[in-house]
Structure 1
Amino acid sequence: MERPEIPLPQLHAFVVLAEELHFGHAAARLGIAQPPLSQQIRRLEDRVGHALFTRAPGRVALTPAGNELLPAARRALTDLADGLAAARAVGSGRAGSLRIGFAASLALTVLPGLLRTFRDRSPDVHLDIREMTTAPQIAALHDKTIDIGLLREPPSDETGLCFRTVLSEPFVAVLPSTHPLAGQRTVRLAQLAESPFVLLPRAVGPTLYDQIVGLCTTAGFTPRIVQHAVEWQTVCALVETGLGVSLAPAGIRRIRLRGVAFRRIEPGTARTRVAVAWREDDHNPLVTRLLATVGQDCPPDESR
């Protein structure tokens, strides 16, 4: 059987009259005249197929059909009010869900302050945080499986995406504490020419990988890479075992491993960029709200 569609104004009029049990009082509460109220109730009764009220001079009462309808009518009006409030909250960026991809090393620098500030300002927003390296983040942004990316060295020719730098870091040498150069305050890159290297695979961060290899090339050698690891924490752990050395963003110094030494490098002019990324055509107000937060709680420059 086809269910009759009942206009919400009729339900609203019905609920108010059921609460007031007086046409004059109900009409005043609704801000309308009594005849339009009576018409609304008659139309609703026609849709239901039964009288909802008994009417007598100076007395109005709910019929059994009216008593049955009243809880459902109240739920419908409450659900609508809740839905409108939720829609307004999402539309204004005060609620909803935001999917954020981040490079693991940024949990040591940018990410904690950013999330703390955003959650303080938008406590009703659900954050879906996903650990991803740079290349997967770029793909996920295009596929619309994340809304925001926090990554290192974004590509310069990526159409459809926007990037904003939030942090610039120099590089440091990552050495086993037993390495002959670990006792120096500063390491010249050329001094690492004979050491084996542990690096991220190029596939997970092509721009950063090429930048590191380029630094070595400028210093007069091609790094002899003996092991790859997807995350910087793993790179440092492998360096600690004595497997090799590495070059890493300075923020990696926050990884505390007893057997690893982090040293400044010379020349120290090269820097790596941390950026926030989003889709150019994304008009999600939550993205706009997070972008307004970016940069306000980034860690200090890591050059010291």
Structure 2
Amino acid sequence: MLNDGGGVLERHEVEAFLTLAEELHFGRTAERLHLSTARVSQTIRALERRVGAPLFNRTSRRVELTAIGRQLEEDLRPAWARMAAALERAVDAGRGVSGLLCVGFVGAAGGQLLVGATEVFRSLRPDCDVQIREAQMAEVVPWLRDAEADIVLAGFPVREPDIVMGPVLVRESRFLALPAGHRLTRQQAVSVEDLARIRVLRVGGAVLDSWRDAHTPPTTPAGRSIEPGPSAGTFQEALTLVGAGQGAFTVGAHARRYYARPDVAYLPFHDAPPVEWGLLWRADAETARVRAFSQAASNLARSHH
């Protein structure tokens, strides 16, 4: 409703008047408002009776604003636009589209993908600020549960009842990081069964069993035990231990590009499933901005395939 100084204008009256002032045609106005032409005419006549003067001149050929009608439009339209904008901002805030979105990422490649997704998201949601933070894999779930991050790009799988695994954004070949000069580097590729012949580093911290078992399993598919190596707190620490001959570590194909080191060799697995990456968020904190960011990241990932 709008107060015109002499009474309150109802929303349907304002919409009918301003739309007719644009269209200058009762039929097109009725179509835009999904009303009958008779209903639009009744609304305008009722408004004119309240004003006490015609707002439109009507002939069989044309409809045009009177001087009073033109003045009313000039006064009403800015106020109506401000009300519509205020309502839209309130709805966006209520649905979680505006405000601040804190997004986390694991690894250099994840950071690059997240920056691209952030650019797409900001172009679609300019009223929402995005804060980007790097996380270690052990920090992902605690950050989400403690609301330190709204959404995190990390390696899958993370199977927890309170955490949502979004769509897979990236699938890449699985590689084994080995000390340079290790006997297995004489091969073109390795098998998952080869893990029983070496020590495999563990990831330290509160990493979930679902993720740890997928990346550093205790046994091979044939049931052969895999000797555990030292624990590493970060990915760079793991590669340093690999280079020092302390063990091997399974990685995604991106490691060859982002973490090239003279003391580490990367060999592809010929029989291992791919490494998958995607977005994670807390199930009870799935706001519109979280869904919008997930959609932006999915669109970006598809455009790169």
* TM tier relative to shorter chain: 0.5 to 0.7
Match for residue 206 of structure 1? 209
TM superposition shift of 1:83:
8.1
TM superposition shift of 1:186:
0.8
The amino acid that maps onto 2:185 is A
- Partners of 1:214 and 1:296 lie apart in 2 by 33
Alignment check: 8 A CA contact 1:93 1:289 kept: no
Match for residue 161 of structure 2? 159
Q: What is the aligned-residue identity percentage? A: 25
Structure-to-structure mapping, 1:248-287, within 5 angstroms: 248-254=251-257, 255-268=259-272, 270-282=273-285, 284-287=287-290
Structure 1 residues 83-106: Cα deviation after superposition (integer angstroms, max 9, x where no partner): 878646645766310012322355
Alignment check: 8 A CA contact 2:152 2:279 kept: yes
User: 1:108 and 1:162, CA in 2 relative to 1: closer, same or farther beyond 3 A?
Assistant: closer
Structure 1 residues 99-137: Cα deviation after superposition (integer angstroms, max 9, x where no partner): 123223553664233223223333442222233344532
- Partners of 2:218 and 2:266 lie apart in 1 by 17
Alignment check: 8 A CA contact 1:148 1:276 kept: yes
Structure 1 residues 245-296: Cα deviation after superposition (integer angstroms, max 9, x where no partner): 222233322322222221111323x233323222333353211211221222
The amino acid that maps onto 2:267 is R
Instruction: Tell me the SS of whatever aligns to 2:115.
Output: helix
TM-score, reference length from structure 2: 0.61
Which structure 2 residue ranges, 5 or more long, are not aligned? 8-82
Structure 1 residues 193-247: Cα deviation after superposition (integer angstroms, max 9, x where no partner): 3333323127324223212444842255322233211222321232223332222
Instruction: Tell me the SS of whatever aligns to 1:275.
Output: strand
Match for residue 120 of structure 2? 117
Alignment check: 8 A CA contact 2:103 2:133 kept: yes
- Partners of 1:127 and 1:108 lie apart in 2 by 13
Match for residue 199 of structure 2? 196
User: 1:173 and 1:147, CA in 2 relative to 1: closer, same or farther beyond 3 A?
Assistant: same
Match for residue 95 of structure 1? 98
Structure 1 residues 38-95: Cα deviation after superposition (integer angstroms, max 9, x where no partner): xxxxxxxxxxxxxxxxxxxxxxxxxxxxxxxxxxxxxxxxxx9998786466457663
Alignment check: 8 A CA contact 1:153 1:205 kept: no
TM-score, reference length from structure 1: 0.61
Match for residue 49 of structure 2? none
TM superposition shift of 1:174:
0.7
Aligned: 1:223 with 2:226: yes
What is the aligned residue count? Answer: 226
User: 1:87 and 1:246, CA in 2 relative to 1: closer, same or farther beyond 3 A?
Assistant: same
User: 1:163 and 1:225, CA in 2 relative to 1: closer, same or farther beyond 3 A?
Assistant: same
- Partners of 2:267 and 2:118 lie apart in 1 by 30
Determine which of 177, 183, 195 is the counterpart of 2:180.
177
Alignment check: 8 A CA contact 1:204 1:230 kept: no
Structure-to-structure mapping, 1:1-304, within 5 angstroms: 31-33=4-6, 87=90, 90-91=93-94, 95-104=98-107, 106-107=109-110, 110-156=113-159, 158-166=160-168, 167-201=170-204, 203-214=206-217, 216-219=219-222, 221-254=224-257, 255-268=259-272, 270-282=273-285, 284-298=287-301
- Partners of 2:209 and 2:112 lie apart in 1 by 21
The amino acid that maps onto 1:243 is Q
Alignment check: 8 A CA contact 2:98 2:128 kept: yes
TM superposition shift of 1:182:
1.9
User: 1:297 and 1:82, CA in 2 relative to 1: closer, same or farther beyond 3 A?
Assistant: closer
Q: CA RMSD in A?
A: 3.4
Moved over 6 A (4+): 80-85
The amino acid that maps onto 1:236 is L
User: 1:202 and 1:144, CA in 2 relative to 1: closer, same or farther beyond 3 A?
Assistant: closer
Which structure 1 residue ranges, 5 or more long, are not aligned? 1-8, 10-29, 35-79
User: 1:127 and 1:245, CA in 2 relative to 1: closer, same or farther beyond 3 A?
Assistant: same
- Partners of 1:161 and 1:190 lie apart in 2 by 32
User: 1:260 and 1:148, CA in 2 relative to 1: closer, same or farther beyond 3 A?
Assistant: same
